[in-house]
Structure 1
Amino acid sequence: MSQVTTPKFPAVKQSLHTELKKRVQQYFDERGIAPTGNPKLFTKAIIMVIAFITVYLHLIFMTPVWYLAILECIILGGLVAAIGFNVMHDGSHGSFSHNKWLNRIAASSISMLGANHFMWNMKHNMIHHSFTNVDGVDDDIEVGILMRMAPTQKYYKLHKFQHLYFWVLYMLLYVFWIFFADYRKYFSQKIGNVPLKKMNWNDHVEFWSVKLYHAAVFIVLPIATVGWLYWMIGFIVMSFFAGFVLSIVFQLAHTVEHTEFPVADIETNKLPDEFAAHQIKTTANFATRNKLVSWLVGGLNFQIEHHLFPKISHVHYPAISEIVRNVCREYQLQYIEYPTMRKAVVAHVRFLRQMGREA
């Protein structure tokens, strides 16, 4: 595959992004609060990490009865996703705390889950957040021939069924990420068509250290304590549940029936909208009034606010969402939001059915 030239955003006189940042900053200034995490976030992070370690140790060394073990494997998979959403995600964006060392610790929790932070930072922070839903650049909508996730992607006959089989593919995300995607990026030195930034010696050491740790903790030790068969069943249950939760939360934010998939101008290589308008048109919120969903997914149901202000902790998204809504009304931009998670899933299924029709 040839390398891609990343598109540019057009320069505008009256920047929507500048106006949004001014109003949101005013919100924090008036209240005298920091845009980073607060004690509630730190407490949640501690609870989730302790719960993860406790459930893991209980499964490995206490060998509970099979039906309780299955339940604990599901819980462990949920905690893998929850730590990723709530701890690692804020930390990797530098919004977990105003202390850089705390952000580094939070971001490093991805290593505890077996993934590589260098690859995540490049794929998510640098590419996805810059070129959301841009086919050929945003790796989050590149699933290969098995799924068509953008109108500009090639159509295959099997896509007419993708709204039926996507459930199975989404469950494979965690396994694919840990055992294949990280390695493909490492050895190809590319994410899709976009070259990786140069890895230094520490990056290489960290990559292989994390992979060795994951193999020891999630494969070798469990097989040694509970046996190959029980490990295989438990690992499949845990990883499939984690994979589905991770997949569905991220897909509900961008691949639903009302989001757009902008294409850069062939001659100028510029996208049609400035950065903020681009993010608003390619992103959707869901279940923002459901406090349990917001708590579990780390505010990623406020995806519009996150894409506009990734360095603001998710604990502030409910408050600043009102500011963003008002600005969208003033600029006559659609603020895409689904009131419940169920309706967001329906919108995603409808989108997959649309993409499953031959162009």
Structure 2
Amino acid sequence: MPPSDLEFYDSVPISDNFLRLSDPAQFTPLPDTWFLGVADIVDSTGEVARGRYKTVNMVGAAVISGMINALGGRVFPYVFGGDGAGFVVPGQDAETARETLASLQNWAESEFAITLRAALVSVVDIRAGGRDLRVARYAPSSGVDYAMFTGGGLAWAEAQMKSGHFIIQQAGPDAQPDLTGLSCRWSNSPARHGQIVSLVIQPTSEASEADFSALAQSVLSAAEGLERAGHPVPSKGPPMRWPPPGVDIDAHVSRAGRNLIVQKIRLTIGNMLIGLLFKTGIRLGQFEPNHYKEMVSRNADFRKFDDGLKMTLDCDPATLEQITRMLEQAQAQGKIRYGLHAQQEAMMTCFVPSATRDDHVHFVDGASGGYTQAAAAMRA
């Protein structure tokens, strides 16, 4: 592959101003030689209705952690969607992506009885379908940055996958992804200013990029008036209680063929020791608990552009009314579709390659369905 393709993502500018990314000019077209991987849970709305929203988020985040580990930690663009995820890799990594997605399907079925649907689409096919795929990078802190997408290509690929095109077949029972670093040991963060609002906004075919950019700027400007722009995770980090609420799910994720009960016991004991460190603030080697908790909050991925705008906000009633009024007006004009789901808590699913570095990533969603429920409301 040409060096320009291998080095492409490193050359994409990193912005620390999220509002600025409502401008489509800030996005860079992906090379034709790259491939987009998409995955989502079949009947995720039903899974949420059965109380499995934490499991839904874990399986969605596993798509990203599985790819990060498969690529040896090499940086590539990805986005978390609640009940699934999307990512883009150079053509030389397409087969690795295909194998990883196939093994993730087997893992989701065997560990959780969840059907994970997956597809791999070339950027050439996306553009032949009349859409584009452009990317930007947003850094919420000095430790991490997250990819943002526009151009309609991600939404188009997801629609194609749901129609049965570009589908990846599930791997055999022996195939297992490497999910090292994936966990959900934090407790939920309660709303402090009203409700935790998960919001999904998508432009229609009637909306120009300028139309959607103007609306996104208005919505984001309203959210900027909230404490920390509506960040749902406390600045000193989320709460941690013992026993951790996700230990059963963590055991399924990390057991790698080991006995499930034994793995659950190991995790429970390990989390008790970690909880003591966080409670006392005692430093252990290079691990500094208070700094880590602050970085968890700073690194949290609570808003994103992915052919639309998604946010999970700690929102007061007046701001929620203001944002809803904007969205209702734009929807009445045929410019957008939107869905909103309010709940009392936010939750996180985490990927931590090393607890002594600042590059750990934390995916935020509402704790009672979040983006999945908001998307269902949008479709309805």
TM range (shorter): under 0.3
RCO (CA 8 Å, sep 6+): is it higher in 1 or 2?
A: 1
Which structure's residues are more often strand, by fraction? 2
Which one has a bigger Cα radius of gyration? 1
Which structure's residues are more often helix, by fraction? 1
Q: TM-score under structure 2 normalisation?
A: 0.25
